[in-house]
Amino acid sequence: MSAETLVISYLHGTPNSFLGKELLKHIYAHAGIPVRFEKYTSALSLRLSSQGKIDGETHRIYSLASAFPTLIRVPTAFSYVAPTAFVNIHGGIGFRVDGWQSLEPYRVGAVQGMRFAELGLKPRMHTVETVNSSDQLLRMLKSQRIDIAVTGKINGLYHINTLGLTDIAFLSPAIESDELFHYLHQKHRALVPILDKTIQAMIASGELKQLRQKLTKLIIEGDVEINSPANK
C-alpha cells in the first residue's frame, strides 16, 4: 500500500459534504491510507479531481462516473443525500412534494455543481438560479429572490439553526433519496477494492451507521463548525 497522502475534496459551506468528510476520515483510517481534505466549491472540485490535480471526491451520486470518466467510483455507497425543497413561509407556497416535476411552476435555486440538483432540475426548468454554497442558497430564499431552494435536508436544517432563519421551512417528503459514493481519480484505481472492503466491513459492524447518526445530530444542532479549516 502506498504511503502517499491523498488529497480529497469536500464542498465549502455544505454540511452534508462535511458529514461525508468526517465519515471518510474514519474509513481511510481503518484502511490505513493517509489522507487530508481540502474544501472547494462544487464545480471547481469536479474540475480539479477529474483532471487529477487532486486525488478524489468525498462523495457524489452514482451517475457521476458517466459524466466524468476519469473518476472511479468505489462500489459501495457509504452515505446518502435527501434532496429537499425549502420555502420561505412568507411566500405562500405549500404543497406535498411529488418528485422533481412538482417544482416546475416555481423559481428554483440550487448549488452549482450539485449533480443531483442538475440532473433533477435542468431537464424540467428553463432557469435555475445557482450559487456556490448552501448557506448562500438559503439566504437567497430568505430574501425571496427564489421560491424554492433545493439542497440536502441536513444542509438546510443546519443553516436554519445556525443562521437563525426562522422564516425558512422544508416541504415533505424529500424529493428523492440518493446514495453517495466515494470517487478517486483513475490513477488511484488500485486503492478502490481496499476502500470498498473497508466500507463494507464498517457497514456490517454497524459502526458507519452509528457514526453517521452521531455526526448528523451534532451538525443539525449546530454543534460543529462546518467551515473550519480543512486538512484536519
What is the pLDDT confidence band of residue 227, given thresholds at 50, 70 and 90?
low
Q: Cβ of 136: how many Cβ atoms within 10 Å? A: 17
Strands (E), 30-187: 35-40, 56-61, 71-73, 79-81, 83-88, 108-111, 128-131, 148-152, 168-170, 178-185
Residues 6+ apart with CB under 8 A from 54: 7, 8, 9, 38, 45, 48, 185
* Torsion angle, alpha carbons of 231, 31, 179, 138, to 10: -10
Q: Give dist(CA 12, CA 40) in Å, integer.
A: 5
Q: 3-class DSSP state for residue 218? A: helix
Confidence (pLDDT) at 232: 35
CATH of domain 6-80+179-220: 3.40.190.10
User: What is the per-residue pLDDT for 184?
Assistant: 99
Task: Quote the crossing angle between the two packed helices 15-31 and 153-162, to the nearest 10°.
Answer: 120
- Quote the pLDDT of residue 113: 83
Domain ranges of the chain: 6-80+179-220, 83-170
pLDDT in tens, 24-54: 999 999 999 999 999 998 889 999 999 999 9
Tell me, what's the pLDDT at 222? 83
- CA separation (Å) from 161 to 13, 135, 164, 216? 14, 11, 5, 13
Average pLDDT in the 60-72 region?
A: 95
* pLDDT digit string, tens, across residues 133-145: 888 999 999 999 9
Q: Looking up cell 480529497, which residue turns up?
A: 8
Q: Is the pLDDT confidence value at 223 over 90? A: no
Q: Which residues pair with 178 in a beta bridge?
A: 81
CATH architecture of 83-170: 3-Layer(aba) Sandwich (3.40)
pLDDT of residue 191: 98
Question: For residue 225, which amino acid is it?
Answer: E
Overall pTM > 0.75: yes
Residue 109 has pLDDT above 60, yes or no: yes
Cα–Cα distance measured from residue 90 to residue 88, given in angstroms and rounded to the nearest whole number = 5
Residue-wise pLDDT tens digits, 179-203: 999 999 999 999 999 999 999 999 9
pLDDT computed for residue 228 by the predictor: 54
Query: Which one is predicted more confidently, 117 or 66?
Result: 66
- Does the pLDDT value for residue 230 go beyond 60? no
